[in-house]
Structure 1
Amino acid sequence: MNSLKLPFAFDANTIKKELAQFSKTEYRDVYNPSVALETLWLKEFIYPIGTPDEIPTFYPNDALKKCPYMLSIFETFKCRVETFRIHTLDAGAAIQKHTDSGYSFEQGKVRLHIPVYTNDKVEILLNDEPVVMQEGECWYCNFNIHHEVKNNSDQPRAHIILDCMVNDWLTGVFAEGGYEN
């Protein structure tokens, strides 16, 4: 299974209100060879704590502490979350076809998306097949295969992105969503 809508529903309007407190200057440009410079922006909401000899634990940063609803989303995931950030793709921008090696359920690490700002002119293609995501939903996609994003609209597209380590809890969530390994 290449994509799966997980059994969560988050309030995108509440997330939007919390994100409104941050200006674009608080985001940073994402350097990625699949994206034109200054078209994809990110803001991190967690940071690692640990020594070089141990696996770090990730904690909410000051920005996430200002966002109680988003903090509750972070705390919903009863697994190791290594990334909790917002990605904003500018209007008219695209993320070219590429793979994110190692991001599949079978490999033990998944990348989840929660659309915050999207519309019907945003295309997410996974192996050239569209995956239609609505605001507030939570989606798993096997990003270990070819995928791309085209924002054909005149509005930015923003998603919360979580990188999660598969554990028993997350395996149960996937089973509840209908995942067949």
Structure 2
Amino acid sequence: MQNAFLKLPFHFSEEKLLKDLEVCRTYNFTSHFNKNDYSGEWTSIALRSQNGEIDNIFALPQTEKKFKDTQLLQNCAYFKEIIDAFKCEKESIRLLNLKPDSEIKEHTDYNLGYEDGVFRIHIPITTNSDVHFFINSEEIKMLPSECWYGNFNLPHSVKNDGETDRIHLIMDCFRNDWSDNLFAESGYNFEVENHQPEYSREAKLQMIEELKLMDTEISKAMILELQKDLKKIQN
């Protein structure tokens, strides 16, 4: 499917990424909140969060821009340089670590495609040849220091069959003219972007359960919208 993922024209310093990662590893990473979505170990630490705390790893498209840089980000000069290179507003920014022999099960996220006005960026820091990342049933090999966009409205999953950690720097950004130009230069097809996938009933029920775990005003509002959609399907 066109626009399912896109490699963006950035190439960062692997050495500098690893240097800032070592700073982050002196802090405790938090286990991902949705235990149903994965097996093994999947942990995270926040560089930008809703309350500015490193253990607040919730990430949701927001109607109000309340996210704050954490103190950890101030200690990571290269991460900050990368973030500043994206000339757009940002929401959640985290490091996510999928440990060896761990798996993120196939799932879909809510309103997390470029067509929704909020887009997620992946920058691999450490990975291995036995990491398998699928979006819409197509495997993508993301290498350290590369930069990728994925449409996570689509079914996606990750499995780490290797012996080393798979750690990505992940940014949720707001779409603007700058990002439109960037995506256009990278081959994004704007003509087909509004043909959004229709979520199945099962996918919507799964999203509702995930949103309940977050227990925020935004997640509650999203749950109500999904429940309305389910009632329409039933009728």
- TM-score, normalized by the shorter chain, greater than 0.5: yes
Displacement after TM superposition at 1:21 (Å): 2.2
Instruction: State the secondary structure of the residue aligned to 1:26.
Output: coil
CA–CA distance in structure 2, aligned partners of residues 40 and 180 of structure 1: 33
> Is residue 134–residue 156 contact of structure 2 (8 Å, CA) maintained in 1?
yes
Q: 1:160 aligns with which of 148, 156, 169?
A: 169
> Is residue 60–residue 71 contact of structure 1 (8 Å, CA) maintained in 2?
no
Pairing 1:1-181 to 2, within 5 Å after superposition: 1-23=3-25, 26-32=28-34, 33-36=36-39, 39-48=41-50, 55-181=64-190
TM-score by length of 1: 0.91
> Is residue 5–residue 149 contact of structure 2 (8 Å, CA) maintained in 1?
yes
> Is residue 50–residue 92 contact of structure 2 (8 Å, CA) maintained in 1?
no
Higher strand share: 1
Higher helix share: 2
CA–CA distance in structure 1, aligned partners of residues 41 and 132 of structure 2: 16
Instruction: State the secondary structure of the residue aligned to 2:38.
Output: coil
Displacement after TM superposition at 1:11 (Å): 1.2
> Could you list the per-position Cα deviations for residues 25-83 of structure 1 after superposition, in whole angstroms to 9, with x for gaps in the alignment?
521111222113x611101001447xxxx823544321111111111011111111101
CA–CA distance in structure 1, aligned partners of residues 26 and 129 of structure 2: 24
Identity in percent? 34
Matched AA of 2:73: L
Report runs of 4+ in structure 1 exceeding 4 Å deviation: none
Give the unaligned 5+ runs of structure 1. none
The more displaced of 126-135 and 54-63 is 54-63
CA–CA distance in structure 2, aligned partners of residues 90 and 161 of structure 1: 16
Give the unaligned 5+ runs of structure 2. 52-62, 191-235
CA–CA distance in structure 1, aligned partners of residues 114 and 185 of structure 2: 14
Matched AA of 2:37: S
Instruction: State the secondary structure of the residue aligned to 2:10.
Output: strand
> Is residue 107–residue 157 contact of structure 2 (8 Å, CA) maintained in 1?
yes
